[in-house]
Structure 1
Amino acid sequence: MTDDPDIGIAIEKIAFPQLPPADHVTSVQEDRQSHRHNTHTFHLLQKGTVTIDIDFQQYKMEPSSILYVHPDQVHRTTAHDPITVVSLAMTNENLNPEYLNLLEDLVPVKPLPVASDTFALLDQAVSLCLNLVDRKADQLYHSRLKDACNALVALILSTYLEQTKAPTKLSRFDLVTKAFREQLERSFTTIKRPTDYANSLNLSTAYLNECVKNTTGHSVSHHIQQRIILEAKRLLYYSDQSVKEIAAQLGYDDYPYFSRLFTKATGMTALAFRRKNRD
């Protein structure tokens, strides 16, 4: 993404004869290694077949399809035939607040095949964005680009919402679970007990657990642990921090306890996980 990072928006159409293997030294080597961004990223695959790993799940992406990647998700992309893809990256500040709220609820997100008429509409929106991004000397450059890119985001978002059949009206249990997940995402490094989450939502621990288990099939404790383990996996995978440093970053001063927790949750030690996933 080569556009000016200061404006918080980058969009480009890129083509590769192939995406080289991760161990192949090229100018795009970093993108072949596991990495993550602090932006919301959207991809429209126009040509070729791509294999993409997102948070330790592997997906196959074929034309014509779209993909949304949350900020901080660890991902890596490989392909072995010519590809053409449009990629858009936007910061929170540049996204329409309504779209931002809806995007945060798209978990997990997979590549999504798109009907030809819908993809043609997406292509038209892409063309507008790509034309505007090159007109930096124009009046209201940033505002026009932001509006056009938000229109593209709206089309991508609505396609996900239509095909995933998200409920139009949430039950009380759904609303409580949504509020818990939002609080968990903000606080998992500092708050570890279900009681503290219940208190922050002005609920009893029993009722919070009832809502979350009814909606997801798992307890509040399970979700807390899984969120911590996911972040630990991400850091082990793409960073060079030691296990002790990762434990501290995730709020565990008791390093041996964190190590036991990780091993119990994953069936392997943290160092074994790092070695396995970097091979």
Structure 2
Amino acid sequence: MIPHYFLYEEAAPKVEPSFLHIEPIPVRSGRHDWTIRTHTHPDHHQILVISKGGGAIEVEGVSWEVSPPSLVIVPALTIHAIRFKPDTDGYVITVAPPFLQSALDNDADLVEGFRIPVRFLPQQIGDDIDLVGLFASLEHEFVWSAPGRRTAIKAYLQLLAVTVRRLLEQERARPVSTARDADTVMRFRELVERHYRNHPPLDFYARKLGVTAARLNACCRATTGKSSLALINDRLLTEAKRNLLYSDMTVNEIGAALGYADPAYFNRFFSRNVGLSPGRFRERLLPGQTRAVAG
């Protein structure tokens, strides 16, 4: 099974799990030969800033190249692995979603910025944002037991969340000719997140968004390179894989949880898109473990 950690290779948290942890990247990655193997954090988001070096971060099977300065957000339960270049520097924040929401006064717009995996590269961040300085100030408060420490940490988290929100808005507005498409796709993804287990038709999403199904499909292709149906299928497959790797649910139970009344249909859907049956996928990624794979 893919390991679940609070901090990498620490099964039991050494700090408050409902609070926050921040450390320089070399502290943990340096002693693991700059390689963080595939794992997940079930109850915490991670936020990374790269100030030197770089590398590749694999998020849900997609590889992201990063170079300084880069900002990466890895939400809770996201499967990820990292291969840093030797001597990479920067910071990693590990934060519990309830604490983050409290720090942000439950501002939905700010909290939303940490719900899906995202990276911002140097050309997106520009020279006007001192992310490394912001992380360094937060780390100073974290290690310094001074009056007002918790309040100061919350204030730096608010600044970080505002920065993330503005970066997201900046990307949605660039270029102007595709801003409306990007906004439509973002709202479409939000709807998919709420309804994908119920398998509504594409017309359902289109009506909710105030566009035709053909227009929705065109927006998705222009923004992501994928059709609207492919994005829905991607979300279903991500959840199916997560349950196959993380849970003891049978394949039939996973299919039912994802809205497939017919186990055979779920098997065909998964096999057609992944190239392996759900049972074979589980066996291949969890070698040596005996699991029930049928209902």
Measure the CA separation in 2 of the matches of 1:148 and 1:227: 32
| DSSP-derived class of the 1:66 partner | strand
Measure the CA separation in 1 of the matches of 2:179 and 2:169: 18
Correspondences of 1:144-183 after superposition (within 5 Å): 144-159=152-167, 162=170, 166=174, 175-183=183-191
Partner of 1:10: 21
Give 1:215 shift.
Answer: 0.5
Partner of 2:65: 60
Partner of 1:19: 32
Higher mean C-alpha displacement, 238-247 vs 142-151: 238-247
Give 1:191 shift.
Answer: 3.9
Partner of 2:231: 223
Give 1:230 shift.
Answer: 2.2
Equivalent AA in structure 1 for residue 130 of structure 2? L
Structure 2 residues not aligned, in runs of 5+? 1-6, 8-13, 288-295
| 1:242 equivalent in alignment to 2:250 | yes
Q: Deviations over 1:38-93 (max 9, x none)?
A: 44421012344443211111233344432122343211223473443311234251
Give 1:126 shift.
Answer: 1.6
Partner of 1:84: 89
Partner of 1:109: 118
Share of identical aligned residues, percent? 22
Partner of 2:80: 75
CA RMSD for the aligned pairs? Answer: 3.8
Higher mean C-alpha displacement, 232-241 vs 260-269: 232-241
Change (3 A) 1:116 1:148: closer
Equivalent AA in structure 1 for residue 93 of structure 2? L
Q: Deviations over 1:7-62 (max 9, x none)?
A: 3x33222423343598xxxxxxxx62332444442101234444321111123334
Partner of 1:97: 108
Measure the CA separation in 1 of the matches of 2:32 and 2:131: 24
Give 1:260 shift.
Answer: 0.6
| DSSP-derived class of the 1:5 partner | coil
Change (3 A) 1:193 1:136: farther
| 1:214 equivalent in alignment to 2:226 | no
Equivalent AA in structure 1 for residue 218 of structure 2? N
| 1:251 equivalent in alignment to 2:259 | yes
Change (3 A) 1:83 1:238: farther
Change (3 A) 1:121 1:178: closer
Equivalent AA in structure 1 for residue 216 of structure 2? V
Equivalent AA in structure 2 for residue 132 of structure 1? E
Measure the CA separation in 2 of the matches of 1:21 and 1:169: 41
- TM-score normalized with structure 2 length: 0.70
| DSSP-derived class of the 2:81 partner | strand
Structure 1 residues not aligned, in runs of 5+? 23-30
Number of aligned residues: 263
- TM-score normalized with structure 1 length: 0.73
Higher mean C-alpha displacement, 182-191 vs 34-43: 34-43
2:70 touches 2:119 (CA, 8 Å); kept in 1?
A: no
Q: Deviations over 1:146-178 (max 9, x none)?
A: 111221343355456557864569876655544
